[in-house]
Amino acid sequence: TSVVQRLWQGRASLDMLSPRLQKAVKDYMNVNKHGVSYRGRRSAGMSKTRLLCEMKRKAKVKTLNGEERPFSSLGWQRIVPALPLERLYGPGFGSCAVVTSAGAILHSGLGKEIDSHDAVLRFNSAPTKGYERDVGNKTTIRVINSQILANPKHQFNISSLYKNMTLVAWDPAPYTVNLHKWYKNPDYNLFTPYMKYRKQFPDQPFYILHPKFIWQLWDVIQANTLENIQPNPPSSGFIGILLMMWLCDEVDVYEYIPSLRQTDLCHYHERYYDAACTLGAYHPLLYEKVLIQRANSGSQSDLRRKGKVTLPGFRTIHC
C-alpha cells in the first residue's frame, strides 16, 4: 500500500518515505535547531474523542498581546490589535474551510463548495485569482510564515494578496519559548515588518501567534506518535487547522490529506515538484496528517474524491 493509502487509514510512518526524505528527516533531528527536548508521554491509538479533547486541553490558541517582555518594554500593547484573535469574531463562525496550497487541488472544481463556508482560511502566498473554480475566491483569514514578511520577493506591504482579510503570522521561537532570544534571533525577522505594517494599516486585524501555541501543537503531535517526530514546528497547515477549530463550529479541510488527485506538484499555483511538500521533510507533516485523519469525522468518499476532512470546532466538544 502507498503512503497516501496509509494516510487514508490514519496510519503512516517514516519508513514509507523515499530514502531521500528519510535522510532529510534524520538530518533535521541531528541538528535540532530549536533545541527541542520532549519529556512527555507517547502513545498512539487514543480514541477520536480523547484525541480531540487532548488537542482542546493542551493547545490553546494565543497571540502576542504585548504584555510580556521584551514586547511590553517596546510598547507593543499599542501595536497589537486591541481585540485578541479569539474575540475578534465574537461568537465565532458556523462552518469554516481550510484550503491548503497542495497541487492536488487543481482540477478539483471545489471552489463553490469552499466559498459556501462562513469563513475561509488560506496560507502564505496562495492566490485565488485565476484559480477560482478549484479554490474559490473568499479569504477571511490568511496564515503566513515569517518568510512572507521578511523576504522582499513577496512584496508583503504592497501586494493585494494580503489585503481585506485577517492576517496571522508565525515564526518558531526556541522550544523553551524564551521571548528575549526569539526577539533577538527569529528564524526570519518578522518583527520590524510587522510593526511597520501595523502603523501603515492599523485597521486591518493582524496578529502574531504566541510561540507557546506553536510548541503546544508540536507536543500534541509528539504525544500521539510513537516515533520521534522532527524537532521542528508544525506546518502552517496544521497551525491553521487548529486555529480554525478554536474559531468555528465545524471545519472542512481541503487537500491536506491528499485525494485521488495526489501529485508531487508542490503548490497549485507554481510549477515546482517535490514530494516533501506533501509528506514533509522539515515539518513533521506526515505525523500531523495521521493525527488529523484520526480526528476526521467525514466520509471516506469525501476524503478520496475531495481530499476533504471534517473536524468539530472545540466549542462543540465537551470533555
What residues line the site for ligand C5P (CB under 6 A)?
A: 100-103, 123-124, 235-237, 256, 266-267, 277-278
When the beta carbons of 124 and 189 are compared against ligand C5P, the nearer one is 124
When the beta carbons of 127 and 312 are compared against ligand C5P, the nearer one is 127
Q: How far is the CB of 250 from ligand C5P (least distance, A)?
A: 20
When the beta carbons of 61 and 266 are compared against ligand C5P, the nearer one is 266
Q: How far is the CB of 266 from ligand C5P (least distance, A)?
A: 5
Do the beta carbons of residue 234 and residue 218 sit within 8 Å? Answer: yes
Q: How far is the CB of 280 from ligand C5P (least distance, A)?
A: 8
Q: Label each residue of the chain as H, E or C.
A: CCHHHHHHCCCCCHHHCCHHHHHHHHHHHHHCCCCCCCCCCCCCCCCHHHHHHHHHHHCCCCECCCCCCCCHHHCHHHCCCCCCHHHHCCCCEEEEEEECCEHHHCCCCCHHHHHCCCEEEEECCCCCCCCHHHHCCCCCEEEEEHHHHHCHHHCCCCCHHHCCCEEEEECCCCCCCCHHHHHHCCCCCCHHHHHHHHHHCCCCCEEEECHHHHHHHHHHHHHCCCCCCCCCCCCHHHHHHHHHHHHEEEEEEECCCCCCCCCCECECCCCCECCHHHHCCCCCHHHHHHHHHHHCCCCHHHHHHHCEEEEECHHHCCC
The grid coordinates listed for 111 are 471552489
The grid coordinates listed for 251 are 471545519
When the beta carbons of 121 and 248 are compared against ligand C5P, the nearer one is 121
Do the beta carbons of residue 90 and residue 111 sit within 8 Å? Answer: no
Q: How far is the CB of 273 from ligand C5P (least distance, A)?
A: 10
Q: How far is the CB of 200 from ligand C5P (least distance, A)?
A: 24
When the beta carbons of 179 and 221 are compared against ligand C5P, the nearer one is 221
When the beta carbons of 81 and 193 are compared against ligand C5P, the nearer one is 193
Q: How far is the CB of 83 from ligand C5P (least distance, A)?
A: 26
Nearest-CB residue for ligand C5P = 237
Pairwise CA distance, residues 244 & 248, whole Å:
6
Q: How far is the CB of 110 from ligand C5P (least distance, A)?
A: 15
Beta bridge partners of 167: 142, 206
Q: How far is the CB of 278 from ligand C5P (least distance, A)?
A: 4
When the beta carbons of 71 and 259 are compared against ligand C5P, the nearer one is 259
When the beta carbons of 111 and 284 are compared against ligand C5P, the nearer one is 284
Instruction: Classify strands 248-254 and 308-312 as parallel, antiparallel or unpaired.
Output: antiparallel
